Structure 1
Amino acid sequence: MFRIVSRHSGRVHSRFQSTKLATIVPRATMSGMWKADNRDLTADALFGVSHLKAVVTGGGTGIGLMITQALQSNGAKVYITGRRQDELEKAAKLYGTGPGSIIPLKGDVSQKDEAIRLAKEIESREPDGIHLLVNNAGVARDPDTKFLIFAAEKGQPDWTDAKAISEHFLQTKEESWAETMKVNVTGIYWMSMAFLPLLQKGRDVTPGYTSQIVNITSISGAMKGSSSGQPVYAVSKAAATHLSRMLATLFTDTKVRINVIAPGIFPSEMTAGSSGEDNKSKLDMKASNPAGRFGHDSDMAATILFLAGKGGLFYNGQILTPDGGKTLRSIA
């Protein structure tokens, strides 16, 4: 086992018990020979999350459920929120069997008072705070202009005809812009501010670990072009990514980190249109990325476990893009 020796006092601490500048040294064996000990470099040490208390918004379906499953199946205690209580309870029942737990709490993150209420509710259950907030809840509200970029019959305008382009995109309703921005951007702001004190508490009682907010945005926020006829969705995700950078800077001295996962296409109610009895969605179309497939549950699980575990502690203000190489073939 490694010993951590403080350069300030010379005192020996156990793993992750000191936030002071430390040096890791190997321990002598019974024979007096120094022997390297790599246990701090194992997958369990780097990506274990059994100590975590987490909140995942939109955690009942899609990417939110993938993240919830990854955390719960590795021992974390996960609160999931959403506007549909029945879907939350079903997810908890289907996927909440050991070693961690899933607790459903209904709430609308786009409402300031609801974000504050959720924070107070969880504080009453977790007075020592939480370690991870995943702002995943999101909507796409461009039904009148949406099309599949690789299927001309799905309603694309003539891109050489200014009048056709104008008429197509003016079909968007004003409330589509308002609701999309309210959920995808403002919701992140309310939840981050409401839960910041709880995240700092969680850090304070877990020496050597810094709490974190992970915001789920999209590669749409970094890509130019028509975004499959969903400009408001793409704009909202670009705004969410930039908001994440701003908040990461703003929260620096609190030692609460913020990182972003900007995924490509994963099966969800947003991309597939619905989910089944297992709260899972299936995509019936061909992937256009170099990987030749859409994202799997395991791809999202690996991403969140990396960020949430101790192996991700050195990451702050960063954007991870699990997209199968999609941005390599798109205008970004």
Structure 2
Amino acid sequence: MASPHPLSAAALFSLKGYVAVVTGGGTGVGLMIAQTLAANGAKVYITGRRVEVLETSAHVHGAPERLGASGGGIVPLAMDVTSKESVRATVAKITEKEGFVNILVNNAGVWGGRPTASPKDGPEAFSEAMMAEEKEDNWQKSFDINVTSQYFVTAAFLPLLAKAVSGPTGKVGSVINNCSVGGCLRMSQNRQFSYNASKAAFIHLTRQLAFELSHEQVNVRVNGLALGYFPSEMTTGESNGENESTASNEQFGKFLESMGGRILNRMGTPQELASVVLMLATNDFVWGTVTIVDGGFTLALPGNM
């Protein structure tokens, strides 16, 4: 059988022999990324705290008939990103089974909420609404999960990522951080201050990790995705029996209008996310980038960048 052309999609994006870890991989964007990597040949460990969700996603979306002839597999593995002990235990399990990790996707995240009043309600009402936000369950939790945990998870997996270049692929290990366009904007997207501030911090952490981990004694690539709106439990509020979410374009359109959006009229698709993920996963010439994938949301609001 003839080999594929070196510039064909099959040759460029094959992940045969790769081992990947996707945190928060049981639903939403994490599940889309896990499916993308597995469909192209990788063995993907999906982690999270909800074991039943992970097992369902692995069973349904990791089935050979779903992944196709070139597919790898999806393996559920319970892990709490906020617990160093849980993270260390997971690293120990993967070390014993694999000995290396090619791709770590830091996807786990949380949305804390927003004040119930806005500036148009006046300074007193807006002040009270802002002060009513929970400090621990909103602000501190947002930074703990969206920033601090990403730092420690990356640190814990670093030795396995560094060993990737000695594995069957011969490519250096890669970290892909799921950031957000919310971390790039001056606008608050209807006052979601804690989430956007934490994502801005995560973007900066991504750049700093990219710089430090590029050291010749480590040699691990780090890149980020500043994603716009994709269907997930965070953006739609629910998922179906296969842990996938569906967006209502009409409802989403009204939400965009409230923020002044004009170009974007729908959420992104798994295919639109997958093509970018595969590029970052396979292109060894891409280091330290934060790629905006948002359907033109930030383009429509240039003064807010």
Name the residue aligned to 1:194: 156
Name the residue aligned to 2:35: 69
- Deviations along 1:115-172, one digit per CA (max 9) or x if unpaired, are 2111111111112x01000000000112x52xxxxxxxxx542437222221121121
For the structure 1 residues 235 and 207, does the alpha-carbon distance in structure 2 shift closer, same or farther, using more than 3 Å as the test?
A: same
- Deviation of 1:106 (Å): 0.6
188-197 or 156-165, larger mean C-alpha shift: 156-165
Percent identity over the alignment?
39
2:275 equivalent to 1:302: yes
Alignment of 1:1-332 (within 5 A): 39-98=5-64, 99-127=71-99, 129-142=100-113, 145=115, 155-159=116-120, 161-175=122-136, 176-206=138-168, 208-253=170-215, 254-284=218-248, 285-287=251-253, 288=256, 290-309=263-282, 312-330=283-301, 331-332=304-305
- Deviation of 1:45 (Å): 1.8
When the two chains are superposed, the root-mean-square deviation of aligned CA atoms in Å is: 1.7
CA distance in 2, matches of 1:296, 1:185: 26
Alignment gaps of 5+ in structure 1: 1-36, 146-154
CA distance in 2, matches of 1:180, 1:111: 15
Alignment gaps of 5+ in structure 2: 65-70, 257-261
Q: Which structure has the larger Rg?
A: 1
Name the residue aligned to 1:13: none
65-74 or 113-122, larger mean C-alpha shift: 113-122
Q: Which amino acid aligns with 1:69?
A: Q
- Deviation of 1:292 (Å): 2.4
- Give the secondary structure class of the aligned counterpart of 2:75: strand
TM-score, normalised with respect to structure 2: 0.88
- Give the secondary structure class of the aligned counterpart of 1:328: coil
Structure 1 segments of 4 or more deviating over 6 A?
Answer: none
TM-score, normalised with respect to structure 1: 0.82
- Deviation of 1:189 (Å): 0.5
Q: Which amino acid aligns with 1:279?
A: N
- Deviation of 1:48 (Å): 1.3
